[in-house]
Amino acid sequence: MAQQSIITKNRIVPIDKVRNVGIIAHIDSGKTTTTERILFYTGRSYKIGDIDEGTTQMDWMPQERERGITIVSAATTTFWKGIRINIIDTPGHVDFTAEVERSLRVLDGGVVIFDAEEGVQSQSETVWRQADKYKVPRLCFINKMDKLGADFEATVKEIEDRLGAKPAVMVYPLGKEQDFKGVIDLLTLKSIVWGKDPQGIEYEVSDEIPADIKEKVLEAQAKLIEHIAETDDALLNKYLNGEKIAVEDLKKALRKAVISYKLIPVYCGTSLRNKAVQPILDAIVDYLPSPIDIKEITGIDPRTGKVKKRSISNEEKFSALSFKIQLDPHVGKLTYTRIYSGVLESGTYVYNINRNKQERVSRILLMHANQREEIDKAYAGEIVTLVGPKDTRTGDTLADPNDPILLEKITFPEPVISLAIEPKTKADQEKLAFTLQRLAEEDPTFKVKVNHETGQTIMSGMGELHLEILVDRMRREMGMQVNVGKPQVAYKETVKKSVEAEGKYIKQTGGHGQYGHCLIKVDPLSRGEGFKFINKIKGGTIPSEFVPSVEKGVKEALDKGVLLGYPMTDLQVTLYDGSYHDVDSSDIAFKIAGSMALQDGAKRSGIALLEPIMKLEVTVPENFMGVVIGDVSAKRGKILGTEKRSRAVVIKAYVPLADMSGYATVLRSLTEGRGFFYMEPSHYEEVPNNIVQGMINK
């Protein structure tokens, strides 16, 4: 416990000495291994955690240790050279993309890790785009330099070409593959060599540069200085006049360039062999922003709807964003929160703007993966966990009730796959509903709905692994025994052409009757635009209090679908006319009329069935290329191209998710177990007519 009390005692550092950093990358690039080394070298842990042995601190869930993958993002705090570093280790698997999305929303900087042999892979591009979306300054660490086929220069070139980044190469590798022993720092021209100490704590620094690479090193240094000088007018003048620029001035200019997304420093090493991780720690301290470098946050004043700015400091009024909910069996609901301004004390109340409620914060915790320390106060720039708030959800803004500011929410992708689930005993029916609700609270990409016609409970997620892990958690953490159906693809329906439609609901009974009548226009929208409702009622032909009822009826009809019962999307409904009865009109009558109008319009417009299309990357030895391409084409796949990577070939394609069930087994048998693939949701496309007919006739 000594180490933990040090964290609590030292954590109150000036705001410019804080770094909130995320470790992000493609699956199997070495994120968790790198994080474990960072914790070891900064003295946060006394023993290096190992994924294969299941002894990592950041992957603490049983499912993570068994599978050797990260499932939930884990937060921790450590220190390096007097700087407090709050680290979030994120998953690489696309099924858990929500964990990356929400972490990037609250971080000030990121370390993107690449595999030196594989280069820039699909998920690397995805996380890079997510970081771009939230304008997160970042560093690159090219890991696994000891791996057969490692190629530092090729990976740097891919970062430039495929990610559109401007890399500032900070180090030159000393050797590669099994001969990799360290790096040359290009700013100081010092060789840093790891050798005798197997744990990598001790290393030698010298001015010696091997003669065979000296020319290349000087060339790389000149290129680095030129890149940095281009971002600063004063340095550019010195550079053009041939003057020597001091290392400190280069570092200052580089820091500014990194914070304004002009340059991305690139380092290399091998985390598993404990070589060259310390320079990354120095780079986090030297180049990634502190909360104060971000200067201010922008939000909306909920009272006026106008843009509002707030500086990041302890003196400001309190504002924070909840970015993750976790249900802990011992403590209850944990709300992971990034504090942007002001100070939060335990035992006080905060105002949840999204829910329009006061929430009490009974305790404030600092997390180290799944261990926690209690603290009394949390300051601007900190990432802490709150115990107490009951109704707060992911993406909610917590603020001072007297001076509220609504911060930008976090957006998540829609689920693409679903399965039916039922409890093994009737007695567990109620418990199942409660369990699913708890899991949906934690995970914004997990959706649950009940099909009222069949009585089935349907759970939807980002992929088969995602749903498998959730079912596993139900069994282990919540003691729920459930039966699950086969995974089903999340189809959607849409309309083909613009039509006008009418919905009229008239029911005469002994007393009051029911009367609702509306006229709507249904128009198709582009893919991904969702649903829009426009009210164009003029002259009170439908009283304004009944318009929301029509919209509600339309939405209910959309959820049920028309052709095969799949939800409808990508259409616009315009309510332009109708009539009402002084006595008999009611909310329910107009709701039914709206539903009838939509169903009538959709049928006359013609229904198109949409299916999720996946972006697929298959990596196989060259001699299996033909057979794999043939198989992908047989699955209605559209081959986008192939590229050579080291001794393998990467086949890129768009493939319908419906044809990809059990693909891991198929690929293993086609490639004698030597092929592997990566798949992520891309977009929705219309299902060919012959397949739709087959589904209707089933």
Spell 524-534 as b/e; 16+ CB within 10 A means b: beeeeeebebe
Range in 139-143, 152-156, 200-204, 213-217 with the lowest mean pLDDT:
200-204
What percentage of residues in the chain have a pLDDT greater than 90?
Answer: 33
Residues 6+ apart with CB under 8 A from 417: 460, 461, 462, 463, 464, 466, 467, 487, 488, 489, 490, 612, 657
Q: What is the mean pLDDT of residues 213-228?
A: 92
Angle 488-494-499 (CA atoms, 0-180°, nearest 5)? 160
Token pair for 632: 């992908």
What does the alpha-carbon distance between residue 325 and residue 345 come to, in Å, rounded to a whole number?
Answer: 20
Q: Give the pLDDT score at 64.
A: 42
DSSP letter at 402?
Answer: T
Angle 218-224-229 (CA atoms, 0-180°, nearest 5)? 125
Q: Give the pLDDT score at 162.
A: 86
Q: Give the pLDDT score at 93.
A: 56
Burial of 201 (0-12, 13-18, 19+ CB in 10 A): exposed
Relative orientation angle of helices 587-605 and 547-560, to the nearest 10 degrees? 50
- Per DSSP, helices labelled H in 198-273 are 211-229, 233-240, 247-259
What does the alpha-carbon distance between residue 584 and residue 174 come to, in Å, rounded to a whole number?
Answer: 85
Two domains, one topology: 417-490 and 610-697: yes
3-state secondary structure of 429: helix
Q: Is 189 left (phi over 0), alpha (psi -120 to 50) or beta?
A: left
Residues 6+ apart with CB under 8 A from 2: none
Q: Residue 454 carries which side chain, given as an amino acid letter? A: T
pLDDT at 306 exceeding the cut of 80:
yes
Q: In terms of DSSP bridges, do strands 264-268 and 138-143 run parallel, antiparallel, or are they unpaired?
A: parallel
Domain locations in the chain as residue ranges:
2-293, 295-407, 417-490, 493-605, 610-697
Q: What is the 3-state secondary structure (H, E, C) of 355-393?
A: CCEEEECCEEEEEECCEEEEECEEECCCEEEEECCCCCC
What does the alpha-carbon distance between residue 501 and residue 599 come to, in Å, rounded to a whole number?
Answer: 9
Of 117, 116, 49, 63, the C-alpha closest to 93 is 63
pLDDT at 609 exceeding the cut of 60:
yes
Q: Give the pLDDT score at 218.
A: 93
Of 669, 664, 680, 650, the C-alpha closest to 117 is 650
Q: Please answer whether residues 76 and 45 qualify as being in contact, where contact means their C-beta atoms are separated by less than 8 angstroms.
A: no
What does the alpha-carbon distance between residue 291 and residue 295 come to, in Å, rounded to a whole number?
Answer: 7
3-state secondary structure of 361: coil
pLDDT in tens, 61-99: 455 444 444 445 567 788 888 888 888 767 655 556 666
pLDDT at 55 exceeding the cut of 90:
no
pLDDT at 451 exceeding the cut of 80:
no
**How many of the other CB atoms lie within 10 Å of CB of 204?**
14
pLDDT at 357 exceeding the cut of 70:
yes
Q: In terms of DSSP bridges, do strands 332-341 and 383-387 run parallel, antiparallel, or are they unpaired?
A: antiparallel
Q: HSE (CB half, 13 Å, CA atoms) of 367?
A: 26
Residue 459 pLDDT class (50, 70, 90 cuts): confident
Q: Give the pLDDT score at 95.
A: 57
Q: Please answer whether residues 490 and 501 qualify as being in contact, where contact means their C-beta atoms are separated by less than 8 angstroms.
A: no
Q: Give the pLDDT score at 474.
A: 82
**How many of the other CB atoms lie within 10 Å of CB of 113?**
27
Binding-site members are 25-32, 89-93, 143-146
pLDDT in tens, 252-262: 999 999 999 89
What does the alpha-carbon distance between residue 88 and residue 136 come to, in Å, rounded to a whole number?
Answer: 14
What does the alpha-carbon distance between residue 22 and residue 419 come to, in Å, rounded to a whole number?
Answer: 32
Residue 588 pLDDT class (50, 70, 90 cuts): very high
Q: What is the mean pLDDT of residues 422-433?
A: 80
Q: Residue 547 carries which side chain, given as an amino acid letter? A: V
DSSP letter at 148?
Answer: T
Binding-site members for GTP are 25-32, 89-93, 143-146
Q: What are the two backbone dihedrals, phi and then psi, of residue 572, each rounded to the nearest 5 degrees? A: -120, 135
Q: Please answer whether residues 585 and 546 qualify as being in contact, where contact means their C-beta atoms are separated by less than 8 angstroms.
A: yes
Q: What are the two backbone dihedrals, phi and then psi, of residue 531, each rounded to the nearest 5 degrees? A: -125, 135
Q: Give the pLDDT score at 497.
A: 93
Q: Please answer whether residues 146 and 117 qualify as being in contact, where contact means their C-beta atoms are separated by less than 8 angstroms.
A: no
Q: Residue 45 carries which side chain, given as an amino acid letter? A: S
pLDDT at 522 exceeding the cut of 90:
yes
Q: Residue 517 carries which side chain, given as an amino acid letter? A: H
Q: Give the pLDDT score at 11.
A: 63
Residues 6+ apart with CB under 8 A from 39: 45, 49, 57, 58, 76, 78
Token pair for 448: 């649950």
Q: Residue 695 carries which side chain, given as an amino acid letter? A: M
Q: Give the pLDDT score at 38.
A: 85
What does the alpha-carbon distance between residue 12 and residue 546 come to, in Å, rounded to a whole number?
Answer: 56
In DSSP terms, 620 is beta-bridged to 649
Q: In what order do the strands lie in the sheet with 307-311?
A: 307-311, 296-300, 406-407
Taking the domain 417-490, which CATH number applies? Answer: 3.30.70.870
Q: In terms of DSSP bridges, do strands 109-115 and 514-524 run parallel, antiparallel, or are they unpaired?
A: unpaired
C-alpha 235: how far from chain center: 38
pLDDT in tens, 269-304: 998 888 888 999 999 999 999 988 887 888 898 888
The CATH number of 2-293, from 3.40.50.300, 1.10.3720.10, 3.40.50.2000, 3.50.50.60, is 3.40.50.300
- What's the count of helices (H) and strands (E) in the chain, helices before strands? 17, 38
CATH architecture of 610-697: 2-Layer Sandwich (3.30)
DSSP letter at 687?
Answer: P
Q: Please answer whether residues 467 and 487 qualify as being in contact, where contact means their C-beta atoms are separated by less than 8 angstroms.
A: yes
Q: Give the pLDDT score at 687.
A: 92
Q: Give the pLDDT score at 79.
A: 86
Taking the domain 493-605, which CATH number applies? Answer: 3.30.230.10
C-alpha 178: how far from chain center: 34
What does the alpha-carbon distance between residue 367 and residue 375 come to, in Å, rounded to a whole number?
Answer: 11
Mean pLDDT (the chain, rounded): 84
What does the alpha-carbon distance between residue 315 and residue 299 come to, in Å, rounded to a whole number?
Answer: 18
State pTM to two decimals.
0.75
Of 617, 666, 671, 664, the C-alpha closest to 645 is 617
CATH topology (fold) of 295-407: Elongation Factor Tu (Ef-tu); domain 3 (2.40.30)
How far lies 365's CA from each of 84, 385, 599, in Å?
16, 5, 52
Of 654, 625, 659, the C-alpha closest to 642 is 625
Q: Please answer whether residues 494 and 569 qualify as being in contact, where contact means their C-beta atoms are separated by less than 8 angstroms.
A: yes
Of 522, 464, 469, 470, the C-alpha closest to 490 is 464
pLDDT, greater one: 268 or 673:
268
Of 447, 444, 441, 436, the C-alpha closest to 473 is 436
Q: Give the pLDDT score at 453.
A: 59
Q: Ranked by mean pLDDT, which of 262-271, 307-316, 359-368, 505-514 comes out on top?
A: 262-271
What does the alpha-carbon distance between residue 117 and residue 115 come to, in Å, rounded to a whole number?
Answer: 5
pLDDT in tens, 498-519: 999 999 999 876 667 889 999 9
Residue 52 pLDDT class (50, 70, 90 cuts): very low
pLDDT, greater one: 620 or 27:
620
pLDDT in tens, 627-644: 999 999 999 999 999 988
